[in-house]
Every structure is written in C-alpha cells, then in structure tokens.
Structure 1
C-alpha cells in the first residue's frame, strides 16, 4: 500500500473529520480512507437507475398518489400514398 499526506488541512476540517471518526469508532486515517473509498466507488457497484434516483429525491415527502392522466386513443399512422 502507498501512503499519502494531506497538507494544510484547516482546523475546522480536521475537527469535523475527528468528530466523524469518533462517531464511527475509527481513527482519523481509517475515516479518511473510508471517505475516499465511498467517493471513488459510489457508482461502481450499481448502474445508474433514474427511477431509483427520483424515488430517493422525493422520499422525504412521504407516500402520496398522483392522479391518473387520461390519454387519447392511439392515432392511425399516415401512409402518404394518396
């Protein structure tokens, strides 16, 4: 494995990373690795699914039903042979 160094991390970011690490029971290094792993494998495990994205976007609104939209019958196709 390779090591990386993050220079000039401001105090607020370090504090927030430390709090997040404590919340998850990890060290600063383990938490940083987990964040990087999640960010770099976010879409790799499952393909993009627009229905799932829409469902997640509106999940906080709770259950509700949309009214049915009445549709016209399918029109006949023009042949332009006349």
Structure 2
C-alpha cells in the first residue's frame, strides 16, 4: 500500500482532523484515509460500464435484456495494473 506525506498542515486543520477522528472513533490517520477515499471515489460517481450501457441503449444498439445480461456477467473486481518487470 502506498504512503503519502503531507507537509505544512496548519495547526488548526490538524486540530480539526483530530477532533473529527475522535468523533468517528478513529485515529487521525484513519480519518484522513477515509476523507481521501471519499474525495477520490465519491459514492454517486458515474462508472464507465453503466455509462457505456446507457449510451448504447439510447443509440438503440443494446436491448434491456442484453444490458442486464452484460451487467450480470461483468467482473466487478478492478483490473490489476500492468507490470513491466
């Protein structure tokens, strides 16, 4: 897992993060991870697969039954990045 160092965090921001973490029953580090995850991967974001299916449906190239079949068969695990070793 990757590590990130953030320098020059103002004292009042750090204090607010500690308070927020305590309110959620987490460490400050865990709270920051949760904040970063929510910012980078918001719950309501449009994903590529459903977006492409909706475009195909609107264009008339994909029936509802076909879209449902593709959705059931789709692998929901993220792809592994390519390694050049």
Which position in structure 1 is the counterpart of 2:13? 13
* Structure 2 residue matching 1:7: 3-state secondary structure: coil
- Report the CA distance shift for 1:18/1:45 in structure 2 as closer, same or farther (over 3 A): farther
Which position in structure 2 is the counterpart of 1:44? 45
Bigger proportion of residues as helix? 2
Superposition misfits of 4+ residues, deviation over 2 angstroms: 43-47
TM-score by length of structure 1 reads 0.52
The CA distance in 2 between the partners of 1:41 and 1:2, in whole Å, is 17
Deviations 1:32-74 (A, max 9, x none): 0000001111143678xxxxxxxxxxxxxxxxxxxxxxxxxxx
Q: CA deviation at 1:2?
A: 1.0
Which position in structure 1 is the counterpart of 2:4? 4
Note the residue ranges of structure 2 that are not aligned, 5 or more in a row.
Answer: 51-85
The CA distance in 1 between the partners of 2:28 and 2:6, in whole Å, is 12
Note the residue ranges of structure 1 that are not aligned, 5 or more in a row.
Answer: 48-82
* Structure 2 residue matching 1:14: 3-state secondary structure: helix
TM-score by length of structure 2 reads 0.50
